[in-house]
Structure 1
Amino acid sequence: MTQNTKSMIRLPLILAAAVIIIRIILEQLGSPSVVNNIFGVAWFYFLVPVYFALEISKSGTASPYKSLFISLLLFIVYTRIMVMATYMLAWSLQWQAPRFSTDNGGVVGEGVTALQGLLITPITGAFFWVVSGVILGMIIGGITLVIKRKKAPVKV
């Protein structure tokens, strides 16, 4: 991982961690699902690719799509690890927020074993989100790179 990639993903990761903490607090306080869903890491998968593409475009790197892919992959893996930790805590502490309920694909409910609550469900969810997030991010970020490239002045 290059220094440029590290510095580029730092701010979005800090914001994602803050959003995760805020959401957990809101859920534990019993806020409605409509409010809780505003504070979701998934929203970052629409916004962060644009930010990465703009930063990569500014840097003038020789392989912008490779840089975009690496940045997205790292960002999404790190955010999913944070979310996995919340699901593991939810199983351990039996949090009652709707998203953790087995009815909603979560880890809290009757018959959920330690293996399911601590590993299988969180890892399965993380895998789905990493794959779909990178695909979505490459589409959004790729379009942003193409637009930025077309708007760039022609060098003579």
Structure 2
Amino acid sequence: MPLPPDIRHGGNKACYSPMLDYVKLPTPEAFESSEDYYSTTFHEMIHSTGHASRVGRKGILEPSYFGSHEYSKEELVAEMGAAFLCGYAGIEQRTIGNSAAYIAGWLKALKNDKTLLIHAAAQAQHASDYILNRKRGEGEQIDEPIA
């Protein structure tokens, strides 16, 4: 991943701090399985791609409150991106149930936005491509922000 955030371990909550640009995770031993640890890590790393120094995303660049449309959309992007990365890592069969339930919960919060799933999937793919340092097709740039 180009320009990765700092990753810190400790505490009992996973989060990404956009202001300080770091991912905080419980220690790997705190998770039920290594797949759960990596799925959570991927989720927070997808959030970190929203930072202005990476791909930039409204849900990270602009402050939003828990449960707001932008917050909900960002959570959907992060979980979909984490699912893509779990698939790439070959651990999706161990994490798909949790991911599906998490995504379903955020989709309920966004039920009135008919285009959301397509936009979120595109942003999640863009974020996971950034983490994997995959270049886009000719004429496309991977580092341009998605609104």
Higher relative contact order (CA 8 A, sep 6+): 1
What TM-score, normalized to structure 1? Answer: 0.29
Larger radius of gyration between Structure 1 and Structure 2: 1
| TM-score when normalising by structure 2 | 0.31
Q: Which has the higher helix share?
A: 1
Structure number with higher strand proportion: 2
